[in-house]
Amino acid sequence: MIRFLLNETLVELENTPSDTTILDYLRGNHSHKPDRKTGTKEGCCSGDCGACTVVIVEPKNDRLNYQTINACIALLPALNGKQLITVEDLAEGKTLHPVQQAMVDHHGSQCGFCTPGIIMSLFAFHHELPESRPEMTEALGGNLCRCTGYQPIVDAANEIAKLTPSDRFKHQEQETLQKLSALKSQLDNSAAGVFMPNSEQELADYLLKRPQARLLAGGTDLGLEVTQQLRELPALVTLTSVTELKEVTCSHQVLTIGSAATYRELEPLLASYFPDFARMLSRLGSQQIRNSGTIGGNIGNASPIGDTPPVLLALDAQIELRKGNNIRSLPLEDFYLGYKKTILEESEFIARIHIPLQSHQLKVYKLSKRYGDDISAVLAAINLELNDKGLVTKARVALGGMAEIPKRAMACEAALMGSPANPETLRQAQEAIRSEFQPLSDVRGSSDYRLQAACNLLERYFLEMSGHTARIIAHA
C-alpha cells in the first residue's frame, strides 16, 4: 500500500496501479472519482511546462523540506511516506495564502492556466531556508507562462522573498513532522505493481528475483514512457527509500556519490570541489526536474545528451555496479557501448559514482538554444593540466551531443598532450575534434553548428586559461 498525506488527510492506496501519475491521480483521469482535484493543470504531460507543479514535503534535519515536482510525470510511489500539497490547500477559507495574495496584487496571472503551478513553485520558494534558497529565477525557471512575460511574477516573487514563513504550514510544522514520522513507521515495502526496498541489500536481492522490474528513481525519464508512449509499467522498484544510495561521502581523496542522489542535493555538495559542475547542475532541467532527477538516472539512461556524463568523463569518474552481492567498478567510459546501450547486465544496478579528488582545471560549457530548462546541443567538459613549462600534461575533453554516447575526444586529447597551450595547439586540437566527430543534425542544432561550437568551446577554454573569462552565461 502507498501511504501519504494529501494536505492533512492520510491517503492509503491499495489497488491504484503504481504507474499512475500523480496528476492523473489528482484529476481523477483514470478513476473518474467525483472528488477530483482539478486545481493542478496538465499543460504538456512531459515535465517541461510546470503547470502541474505540486509540492512534496518530507522531514529533513528536523524540519520540513518543501520541494516542487512535476505531477504529470511523477508516479505514485514518489508520494510514499510524504505529504503532498496542491494549490487548493493554500488558502484558508477566503483568505489567500501570502504567495497567492502577492500574485494577485502584482497582476501575476492572465489566462491563469500556468498560475497554480507558479503558485506552488512560489510556495516552495517561500519555505526554502534562506541559506539554501535558490535564485528566484532558478526556482521558477520550470514554470512556463505564455501571457505575462514574467515581470509581474518576478515582482511577486521579490515580495515573497522578503517574507518569513508564518503560514498554517509553518505553525503546524511540529505536528506535521510527527504525522510523517508516525507514517514512516507504518510504511509497506510493496504496493500495486511496485516494490519499495528500504536498503541496498533488499534492492539487490529483489532485482535478482525480478530482473524485469523497472528501476524508478526520480522518474523524470521513465514517467515519459507512461505519458508519451502510453506504456504500462507493471513492475517497478523504487530507490526513494534506499538511503545508502543517496549518500555522498569523501574519503581517501575520492568523492563517492550514491546513484540516487538528486541534482538538487548534489549541487551544493559539488560546489566546493567542482564549481563549474555545480553551476551546470543549476541549469540542468528545471527546479522540478532537479528536485527529482538523479545522477544515476542521468548516467544509466545513456542518452547522448545527458549533461552529467561528459563532466564525469572529464573527471575520470569510476562507476560502481552491483548485481546481487557482486560489485564491480569500472571507468565510466567503459560503461557506454552504443546508442542507449550500456554494459549493465540484467539485475545489475548503478550503485555509486567515484570521482578522484585530484587537482583539476575543469570547465563545463553547456550550450543550448534556450538558457534555462533546455537540453544541450553541445556540452563540453574540459580538464587540462599544464606543467610549469606550459606543456599539457593531462588532457580530458569530453563532449555530449556530439556522438551516439557521451564521449571523450581522444584524438583531441592526444593533440593536446605534451604540447604547449598556444594557438597552434588549439588549432590542431580543433582539427582533431572535426576529424573524430560526425554529430547528427537535429532539432537542437545542425552537425556543422555542433562541430563549430565544440571547437569554439575549446577555444574558450584556452582563452580562460589565459585570463579572458568573458562569458555571457554566468552559469557554466
Partner 1 sequence: MRKLPDIATTRISSKTAKHDSAHMHVSGTATYIDDRPDMAGQLHAGFGLSSQAHAQIISMDLEAVRNSPGVVMVVTADDIPGHKDIGPVYPGDMLLADGKVDYVGQPVFAVAATSHLAAKKAAQKATIKYQPLTPVLGINQAMQEESFLRPEHVMHKGDANRAIAEAPRRLEGTMSNGAQEHFYLEGQVASVVPLEDNQFHVYTSSQHPSEVQKLVAEVLGIPLNKVVADVRRMGGGFGGKETQAAGPACTAALLAYKTGRPVKFRIDRLQDMMSTGKRHPFRQSYRAGFDNQGILKGIEIEVAGDGGYSPDLTDAIVDRAMFHSDNAYYLDNAIVTGHRCRTNTASNTAFRGFGGPQGMLVIERAMDDIARATGLDPLDVRLNNLYGIGERNVTHYHQTVEHNVLPELMARLEKRSEYRKRRQQITAFNRGSPVLKKGLSMTPVKFGISFTAKHLNQAGALVHIYTDGSIQVNHGGTEMGQGLYVKIAQVVAHEFGVGLEQVQVTSTRTDKVPNTSPTAASSGSDLNGKAAQDACQKIRDRLIKFAAEHYQEEPENIVFSDAHVHMKERSIPFVELIQAAYFNRVSLSSSGFYSTPEIHYDREKAQGRPFYYFSCGASVSEVLVDTLTGEYRVERADILHDVGRSLNPAIDRGQIEGGFIQGMGWMTTEEVVWDKEGKLLSNSPATYKIPTIEDLPTVFNVELFEQDNPEHTIYHSKATGEPPLMLSISVWSAIRDAVSSLSDYRVSPDIDVPATPEKVLRAITKIKASDQTRALNKMETVHGVD
Query: Taking CB under 8 A as the criterion, which residues in 412-451 touch partner 1?
Result: 442-446, 449
465 touches partner 1 by CB under 8 A = no
Nearer to partner 1, 48 or 200 (CB): 48
> DSSP letter at 87?
G
Measure the CA–CA gap between 436 and 412, rounded to whole angstroms: 8
Among 8, 10, 36, 175, binds partner 1 (CB under 8 A): 36
- Residue partners of 332: CB distance under 8 A and separation at least 6: 299, 309, 312, 313, 317, 318, 319, 353
In eight-state DSSP terms, residue 345 is P
| Of the residues 259, 362, 460, 476, which one makes contact with partner 1 according to CB under 8 A | 460
Between 51 and 257, CB nearer to partner 1? 51
Rounded-to-5 percentages of helix, strand, coil across the chain: 35, 25, 40
| Contact in structure between 215 and 193 (CB atoms under 8 Å) | no
Question: Which residue number, 316 or 464, has a Cβ lying nearer to partner 1?
Answer: 464
- Identify whether the C-beta of residue 83 lies closer than 8 Å to the C-beta of residue 180: yes
Amino acid at site 322: R
CB of 449 to partner 1, least distance (A): 4
Of residues 260-319, those binding partner 1 (CB under 8 A): none
| Nearest alpha-carbon partner for 303 in 331, 342, 340 | 340
Residues of span 126-155 touching partner 1 by CB under 8 A: 137-138, 140-155
- Position among 22, 49, 351, 416 found at the interface with partner 1 (CB under 8 A): 49
Q: How far is the CB of 16 from partner 1 (least distance, A)?
A: 14
Select from 55-63, 288-296, 403-411, 454-462 the region that touches partner 1 (CB under 8 A).
454-462
- Residue 105 touching partner 1 (CB under 8 A): yes
Binding to partner 1 by CB under 8 A, coded x per residue (else -) over 357-396, reads --------x-x-xxxxxxx-x-------------------
Q: Based on the shown chain and the rule CB under 8 A, indicate whether residue 51 belongs to the binding site for partner 1.
A: yes
- Choose, by CB under 8 A, the member of 29, 198, 201, 256 that binds partner 1: 29
Q: Give the nearer residue to partner 1 in terms of CB position, either 256 or 447.
A: 447
Question: In angstroms, rounded to a whole number, what is the distance separating the alpha carbons of residues 72 and 29?
Answer: 12
DSSP string, 203-230: HHHHHHH-TTPEEESS-TTHHHHHHTS-
Handedness of CA 189, 195, 199, 204 (dihedral sign): positive
Count, residues near partner 1 per rule CB under 8 A: 89
